[in-house]
Amino acid sequence: MLTNESVAQTIITQFGEAVSDFDDPYDLLTFSTTRETIISLITFLKEHSTLQVGFLTDITAVHYPDSPGKEFCVVYHLHSLINNLRLRVKVYLSNEDLHIPTAIPLFMSANWMERETFDLFGIIFDGHPDLRRILNMEEMDYHPMRKEYPLEDQTREDKIDALFGR
Amino acid sequence: MVSEELDIANKNLPAEQGPVQYVNELTTLNLGPTHPATHGIFQNILQMDGEKIVSGEQTIGYIHRAFEKIAERRPFYQITTLTDRMNYCSSPINNMGWHMTVEKLLGIDVPKRAQYIRVIMMELARIADHIICNAILGADTGALTGFTYIFQEREKIYDIYEEVCGARLTTNMGRIGGMERDLSPTAIRKIKEFLDRFPKVLTEFENLFNRNRIFMDRVVNVGGISAERALSYGFTGPNLRAAGVDYDVRVMNPYSSYQDFEFDIPVGQSGDTYDRYMVRGEEMWQSLRIIKQAIDNLPEGSHYADAPQYYLPPKQEVYKNMEALIYHFKIVMGEIDAPVGEVYHAVEGGNGELGFYLISDGGRAPYRLHFRRPCFIYYQAYPEMCKGMTLSDAIIIMSSMNVIAGELDA
């Protein structure tokens, strides 16, 4: 039976300095890595004889405009169906350099997930064969899920928080 | 070779050689965006060599409603209305999945009775989802009779929803911490009636299709996908199980007391359209088993957790009880404080693993909410499954994949 600690230890032994911030919120092993390591890390997890992380559940991103140098976080959710082990891997990117290698050679499902992340956040997946918008129209020149694009018209005055006692 | 080149070639040839013979010219065919057979709004641009599909490309995004963005300004209760509109064929599953995600974040333990009621509602929703998928697969192959028979049963499921929460399609029956209402005696009677009647209808439906020569000719060995490719493409749910992988979130990561029930995971072998159809059919029987166990062993007790700061109090309480009024006001105005944290919670939706990734920064609304929509992830395998098939097969493959346009775009 694999525990989060033993899996974390295996990953640390292999990658050392390149992985950090180990945590398990709500029992889901979470850690960060760098963009140089991410593909070799996923390959290692996939090909490891006991871990056998053979399923990519999800790729998405989060925007943290207030943390300089770490504005964007690409989040990978991986799943080992044999060991029933879920992993969350994070890669922080700075606003100036939004490049990260694509995971398509490892998982076909990464194709649309990466296109969606590009569409909504503007993360550029290097090596992606077809990095186009998927949910929004081609003519759009911004990435709508970033925090600088608020949802509602900010000039509206009938919905300000002060009126609701906040 | 395009026709202009053919003309030029013909002009330059000596007259005695005759015109150049026809060489394979591909036809570009737009299937959709709105086509009666595409089950929603998605465009498929197919390259056809005669009747055969050589390659295809899909365009989605015609009804993108930006749920993830809207959710960043909404308190947790108001997000329920968004989740209901994703997979609208089985909205209770989305609904419960969302509430369970929030409960996980807030650390609320839901009483057994509420968990069992949730299981009943989710399994009814799964049956409704599979009824639609299988019946319309029949309709797409040209067999309309089965569709008209079994669709009445979906209406009966909607009657049960109506009894439980008042709505039929976009049900909002869950609450953070439990259910909005307890099951009324009428609701229990209706569920038991459904359990009595549905097996007969389902048997009749299966007699019409399962060994039907014409139906089998249309679906066997159509749109097959190997287990390895299916996993690589991120398939989950009946589509993955049809390929032979017995992955089911209800068994692997049980939620809402699924570990208390006995049921089997049906698996197929070849991952073709017939296997997908059969897996869905068998899952309906398993769902009936689960509902029967849940309704027979429905525990006594409260249908909501003792968490007044999160559970929206019943309206009668609000009129009489000051505490309830305060909490009602705070919850409705979005004043509930959520702890800082990040949660991933997955439920087994009608068509696969439906995941909710929620990041809370302690505010009244999620900092980031991402839905792992199963059809968005596996629909990209559609061109590969269609390759070498005919146009009429392409319609059936799409139908059997159970792609729901509302969930595709979210």
Set of chain A residues whose Cβ sits within 8 Å of the Cβ of B58: none
Work out the percent of chain A whose per-residue pLDDT is above 70.
92
Set of chain A residues whose Cβ sits within 8 Å of the Cβ of B346: 57
Could you check whether the bond before residue B33 is cis, i.e. omega within 30 degrees of 0? Answer: yes
Q: How far is A85 from chain B (nearest CA, A)?
A: 10
Residue B22 has pLDDT above 70, yes or no: no
Q: For B172-203, write each residue's pLDDT tens digit.
A: 888 899 998 899 999 999 999 999 999 999 99
Set of chain A residues whose Cβ sits within 8 Å of the Cβ of B378: 109
Contact A135 B69 (CB under 8 A): no
For residues A77 and A58, give the distance between their C-alpha atoms in angstroms, rounded to a whole number. 5
Work out the percent of chain B whose per-residue pLDDT is above 90.
52
Q: For B316-343, write each residue's pLDDT tens digit.
A: 889 999 999 999 988 888 777 789 999 9
User: Burial of B410 by CB count in 10 Å (0-12 exposed, 13-18 middle, 19+ buried)?
Assistant: buried
pLDDT of residue B23: 62
Question: Radius of gyration (Cα) for chain B, nearest Å?
Answer: 25
> What's the pTM?
0.89
Q: Which residues are registered as beta bridge partners of B29?
A: B46
What are the C-alpha distances in Å from B309 to residues B111, B338, B359?
16, 11, 20
Q: For A60-99, write each residue's pLDDT tens digit.
A: 999 999 999 899 999 999 999 999 999 999 999 999 999 9
**By the 8 A CB rule, do A134 and B60 touch?**
yes
What are the residues of chain B with a beta carbon less than 8 Å away from any beta carbon of chain A? 60-61, 64, 66, 68-70, 72-73, 104-105, 229, 231-234, 245, 247, 252-253, 333, 335, 341-344, 346, 353, 355, 357, 359, 367-368, 370, 372, 376-381, 409
Domains and CATH numbers, chain A: 4-149 (3.30.460.80)
Contact A25 B72 (CB under 8 A): no
Set of chain A residues whose Cβ sits within 8 Å of the Cβ of B56: none
**By the 8 A CB rule, do B93 and B123 touch?**
no
Residue A166 has pLDDT above 70, yes or no: no
What is the identity of the amino acid at A1?
A: M
Segment B283-302 shows an average pLDDT of 94
User: In sequence order, which ranges of B107-184 are alpha helices (DSSP H)?
Assistant: 112-140, 144-165
**By the 8 A CB rule, do B42 and B405 touch?**
yes
What is the total residue count of chain B?
A: 410
Residue B1 has pLDDT above 50, yes or no: no
Mean pLDDT score of chain B, rounded to an integer?
88
Contact B232 A62 (CB under 8 A): no
Q: How confident is the model at residue A156 (pLDDT cuts 50, 70, 90)?
A: low
Q: For B368-398, write each residue's pLDDT tens digit.
A: 999 999 989 999 999 999 988 898 899 899 8
Closest chain B residue to A138 measured between Cα atoms? B61
pLDDT of residue A158: 67
Q: What is the tally of helices (H) and strands (E) in chain A? A: 3, 7
Contact B409 A144 (CB under 8 A): no
What are the residues of chain A with a beta carbon less than 8 Å away from any beta carbon of chain B? 25-26, 28, 30, 54-58, 60, 62-63, 75, 77, 81, 84, 86, 88, 107-109, 111-113, 116, 120, 133-137, 144-145, 151-152, 164-166
Q: How far is A122 from chain B (nearest CA, A)?
A: 15
Set of chain B residues whose Cβ sits within 8 Å of the Cβ of A165: 333
DSSP symbols for A35-69: TTTHHHHHHHHHH-TTT---EEEEEEEEE-TTSTT
In this prediction the ipTM stands at 0.89
